[in-house]
Amino acid sequence: MGKCRNHPDRETSHLCSKHNVYMCEECLKCNDPDIYCKFRSACTIWFMGRRKARWEKEKRAEEVIKKYKVIFTPEDKEIEVPEGKTLLDAAREADVHINASCNGKGSCGKCKLIFESGNIKSEPTTLLSDREKEKNYILACQTKMLGETVVSIPEETIERKLKVAGMGEEATALLKGLVKNIHPMLKEIPLELEPPTLNDPVSDLDRLNRGLKKTGCDISNLSIGIKVIRELSAAMRNENWKVTASIIRRNGANEILSVTPGNGKVTSLGLAIDVGTTTIVVYLVDMLNGSIIAATSGHNRQAACGDDVINRIVCAEKDGVAKLSRMALATINNLISEALAAVNIDKNQIKNVVISGNTTMTHLLLKIEPKYIRREPYIPTVSEFPILKAGDIGIKANPIAAVFVMPDPASYVGGDIVSGLLFAEFYRKDPLTLFIDVGTNGEIVLGNQDWLMTASCSAGPAFEGGGIRWGMRAEEGAIDKISIDPETFEPTFSTVDDVTPRGICGSGMIDLISEMMLTGIIGQDGKFKIDSSHPRIKKNGEDLSYILAFAEQTPMEEDIVFTEIDINSLILSKGAIYAGFMVLLKQAELDFSMIDQILISGGFGQYLNIDKAITIGLLPDIDRNKFKYLGNSSIAGAYMALLSDDYRNEARKISNNMTYIDFSSNRQFMDEFTSALFLPHTDINAFPNVKIQ
């Protein structure tokens, strides 16, 4: 032991045998690092010094990729993210679902979080109110971490379980029995084969084919892959020539996709999947009798890349289509897992799948380049998809499960609309029908058994809450019905699930605009007619808004308001849809009076007050009895196609027979659209029953 040469107060045992000096732990450094010293192999200074240097180097390396922990309460999800990432990135990584309509651009103001503790840096934003800022509200996409951070998810950011139209036993009862003759794509045939003998030495495959032929299976165009062949001899002998063959039936050619030992009772499940831009719905179906044994739904995780299909395509161009595919698959596969868990069944039982979605959704899900969908002349890669295998596209099911994807007639009219028609059935009946699906886009079909015309109006996501200050989907706490006292301008409203209000959904907005107009709060141009002296009117800069619920009434302690900008967004949306009706009718040389029925599809229609929708000029002013609400017709059509060959063929026919009218460069549409940017319309004669005060 001796004293450190730099710190005489410290005793140390580290001795440099060459220079005969002691060094303390802090000073450990070889005096001759570059020269070979004969004591080196026994020198603690050299050993320890090297160790210390390496440790310090590792420490520096760690610092370069510094990571910070983020905790999201109240769920208490934790994640470590590298310095420089935003809280939105962290939320996506941690699988914390928060609204991000604009895909992190900082323009929608939906991704609100409350900063609880830590060290952050937020970009300035006008999308948070002073009151919100006081309460430490931040926008996740505009905030980076500088240290460990705790944030909480405010009431209005948490997405509640969506009310999905057509779920539950009511819909199950409605759908069951709709398909009389069940014909799955992948059929399982149990067989008991004759064992081979010297007098009957045909090959295993010929023996199998012979057995299949006896059951009435057409083996003339039956093919088989090399993988199945490789396992054939073992499979056939494993349970003494009893086997079950799974055969996929395709146009023209069938294929043996698996041969498994045993010929016990066959149970087979199917999946009907509606891949919406916003919501994904999964039905788990017993293929033997068509009963829906489980149903789940959830938000499409792609929503983190924006609300509408255009944003999704932009995101796919930037980050690659594989990312968007993964997001949709993650949602779908989670929903499948949930459904399977509910009934305690293995995924390998799932042998048939039908997917229904709009053109962008199906392309993204299948990892097909979507970029030409959004570029003139708007071309999808595929309209009619081949029958795929679940294993090839990543759907959680038996890898050989047959997947039918509803055909997409055009870039902006997709398989979800074909599904809707399949369910609505007017395509094979006489009455002239107008079919509307208002979701994140607005699709219209006009026709009957003789002809079908279709178009898509860029209605935008306003009716689903996109771009609207307090807009939200028809979830728990959404204001869905409103009336306003014409004297006091005091509103009366109801919310989904009767809880305190968190925002306004599409039907609520229609009610609200209708009521504001009828009570004279706003004019037919959508501008406020009363000023901010009224307690229900609020002024923020130039922007006036109507206070629907005061802060003390809401769980967020924030006023729920509806601004002039919101009203304008709604007028643009409803104008686009109404203009769509008009152009299709004119193309067909018809008018509204000739229409026998208007079918409204999609979650949006669920709480819709037809009268008020007419009042604002969203729907035409015709006999109220002609309107009919269909519910989620996309999932219903997918269910029908899942069970029946006939319906799958019908779907292909519908898709081929629709005439698509492109509005993007249609001058007539632009004229009609401009005329419809008024409440209810510039041509008031078209709305004789709407009485403006």
Return residues touching its own copies (CB under 8 A). Answer: 1, 12-14, 17, 39, 41-44, 47-48, 196-198, 200-206, 220-221, 223-226, 229-230, 232-234, 237, 250-253, 366-369, 371-372, 376-386, 388, 392-393, 408, 410-411, 660, 662, 664-665
Single-letter amino acid code for the residue at 367: K
Spatial distance between the Cα atoms of 648 and 621, rounded to a whole number of angstroms: 36
CB of 54 to its own copies, least distance (A): 15
Neighbours of 228 (CB within 10 A): 20
Instruction: Tell the smallest beta-carbon distance from residue 43 to its own copies (Å).
Output: 7
Q: What secondary structure letter does DSSP report for 289?
A: T
**Closest approach of Cβ 665 to its own copies, in Å?**
6
Six token digits for residue 617 = 């000029």
The nearer residue to its own copies, 192 or 206, going by C-beta atoms, is 206
Q: What phi and psi values does residue 143 have, to the nearest 5 degrees?
A: -125, 130
Q: Which of 353, 434, 461 is nearest to 108 (CA)?
A: 461
**Of the two residues 160 and 323, which places its CB atom closer to its own copies in the complex?**
323
Respond yes or no on whether the N-terminal peptide bond of residue 74 is cis (omega within 30° of 0). yes
Question: Cα separation of 674 and 642, whole Å?
Answer: 42
* Least gap, CB of 370 to its own copies (angstroms): 9
Cα(537)–Cα(70) distance, rounded to whole angstroms? 39
Q: Which is nearer to its own copies, 48 or 684 (CB)?
A: 48
Cβ within 8 Å of residue 305, ≥6 positions away:
103, 311, 312, 315, 319, 324, 327
In angstroms, the CA 327 to CA 7 distance is: 60
Sign for the pseudo-dihedral over CA of 251, 256, 260, 265: positive
Q: Of 382 and 590, which CB lies nearer to its own copies in the complex structure?
A: 382
**Bond prior to 377 in cis (omega within 30° of 0):** yes
Return the number of the residue (240 or 540) whose C-beta is nearest its own copies. 240
Cβ proximity to its own copies: between 154 and 380 the closer is 380
Structure tokens at 677: 């940017």
Q: Which is nearer to its own copies, 173 or 202 (CB)?
A: 202
Do 439 and 464 contact (CB within 8 A), yes or no? yes
Q: Which is nearer to its own copies, 372 or 592 (CB)?
A: 372
Question: Do the beta carbons of residue 543 and residue 629 sit within 8 Å?
Answer: no
Shortest CB 205 distance to its own copies, Å: 5
Closest approach of Cβ 203 to its own copies, in Å?
4
At 302, the amino acid letter reads Q
Q: Please check whether residue 578 is in contact with residue 681, taking contact to mean a CB–CB distance below 8 angstroms.
A: yes
Residue number with CB closer to its own copies (41 or 344): 41
Shortest distance (Å) from residue 321 CB to its own copies: 8
Q: How near is the Cβ of 381 to its own copies at its closest, in Å?
A: 5
C-beta closer to its own copies: residue 23 or 111: 23
Entry field: residues in the chain:
693
Cross-sheet strand order for the sheet of 222-224: 186-192, 242-249, 254-261, 222-224
Task: Output the smallest distance, CB 257 to its own copies, in A.
Answer: 13
Determine the longest span between alpha carbons in the chain, in angstroms. Answer: 109
The minimum distance between CB 209 and its own copies, in angstroms, equals 9
